[in-house]
Amino acid sequence: MLGLVWPPPDEDALRVAVAGRVVLITGASRGIGAASARRLATAGAVVLLVARSTADLELVRNDVHGSGGEAHAYSADLADRKQVATLLTRLSEDHDHVDVVISNAGKSIRRSVAESYDRFHDVTRTIDLNYLGPVQLLLGLLPAMRARRTGHLVNVSSVSADIPAPFWATYTGSKMAFEAWLRCVAPELRADGVATTSIHFPLVHTEMSAPISFYRYLPGMTADEAADAVCRAIAYRPRLMSPWWSRAAGAVSAAAQPAADALMTAYYQGQRSGRLHAAGKAARRAAERIAGSPPSAGR
């Protein structure tokens, strides 16, 4: 009811949707991707695991095999055009087709625009992995899906697509780019029997979110709960899964833009004040250490 998790799908419905079918998962070495791979393999899917880390992929594959499932590991960096092309060649050689693609691999970054003036490489790295890489992969897989007149594309996205917020411009821009691309091609794909689903996840407590320290105090989903949502998407094929509160916030923001802008500006100013205060404390302590004096009490 709070919109923090989705209920898992009916087990029979999930088995009907995936048993014997080939499901490709990017970012499958950990977090949502790894949990989804284990869950889908248990339901009878043949899972293709894609990620950069060969060692971590092997661990997930061994887990799947140990539970009686079938998994195949493919090491590839989706931000690298040549590696994606090689991956597509290997997939076509090893498998007759792919039924479901879960675009889960992603890069998260939280940084203000003031801290990004000389860091354009953050933008290119993020968009390469969150937008261009997934599109390149799908362009290689879609012809066979459309020819077979069946398939499903699942986009693991974020509530930031509903509620853009300060500090998240690079990340949200890349996620919204892929979301917009998928929405544009969806009618073309549906005409050939290929479904699309976007899942706007709230906070999921994984290694990707761990570096942001204050997230540990916020309510969020576990990787296994997020995997249940992915499985629900595959079982029932909705066009969009988004928490009610993020959809409501997005609608209110669109209807009352000046008020929404003022709220976000106030949020940014509060965050900036806190960051400036912390930076000032750190600078004072550094100066005191250099001068050889003891730290001032109460700072």
Q: Which of 74, 171, 217, 267 is catalytic?
A: 171
251 lies in a domain? no
152 and 208 belong to one structural domain: yes
Cα 218 to Cα 212: distance, rounded to the nearest angstrom: 11
The residues, ordered by sequence, that sit 6+ positions from 179 with a Cβ below 8 Å of its Cβ are: 155, 157, 161, 198
6 lies in a domain? no
229 and 262 belong to one structural domain: no
Cα 102 to Cα 95: distance, rounded to the nearest angstrom: 17
DSSP-assigned letters across all residues of the chain: --SS--PPPPHHHHHHHHTT-EEEEESTTSHHHHHHHHHHHHTT-EEEEEES-HHHHHHHHHHHHHTT-EEEEEE--TT-HHHHHHHHHHHHHH-S--SEEEE---------GGG-TT-HHHHHHHHIIIIIHHHHHHHHHHHHHHHHT-EEEEEEEEGGGTS--TT-HHHHHHHHHHHHHHHHHHHHHHTTTEEEEEEEE--B-STTTTTSGGGGGS--B-HHHHHHHHHHHHHH--SEE--HHHHHHHHHHHHTHHHHHHHHHHHHHHHHHHHHHHHHHHHHHHHHHHHTPPPPTT-
37 and 133 belong to one structural domain: yes
210 and 283 belong to one structural domain: no
28 and 127 belong to one structural domain: yes
The pTM assigned to this predicted structure is 0.84
Task: Determine whether 157 is exposed, middle or buried from the number of CB atoms within 10 Å of its CB (0-12, 13-18, 19+).
Answer: buried
266 and 119 belong to one structural domain: no
31 and 115 belong to one structural domain: yes
CATH of the domain at 44: 3.40.50.720
Is 171 a known active-site residue?
yes
Query: Is 148's pLDDT higher than 70?
Result: yes
Q: Which residue has the higher pLDDT, 289 or 270?
A: 270
pLDDT tens per residue, range 256-272:
777 767 767 776 677 77
144 and 276 belong to one structural domain: no
234 and 288 belong to one structural domain: no
Find the range with the poorest average confidence among 138-142, 183-187, 287-291.
287-291
Cα 128 to Cα 28: distance, rounded to the nearest angstrom: 18
241 and 260 belong to one structural domain: no
201 and 103 belong to one structural domain: yes
55 and 126 belong to one structural domain: yes
pLDDT tens per residue, range 152-187:
999 999 998 888 888 889 999 999 999 999 999 999
pLDDT band with cut points at 50, 70 and 90 for residue 61: very high
Structural domains counted in the chain:
2
Cα 175 to Cα 183: distance, rounded to the nearest angstrom: 12
41 lies in a domain? yes
Which residue range(s) make up the domain with 186? 11-245
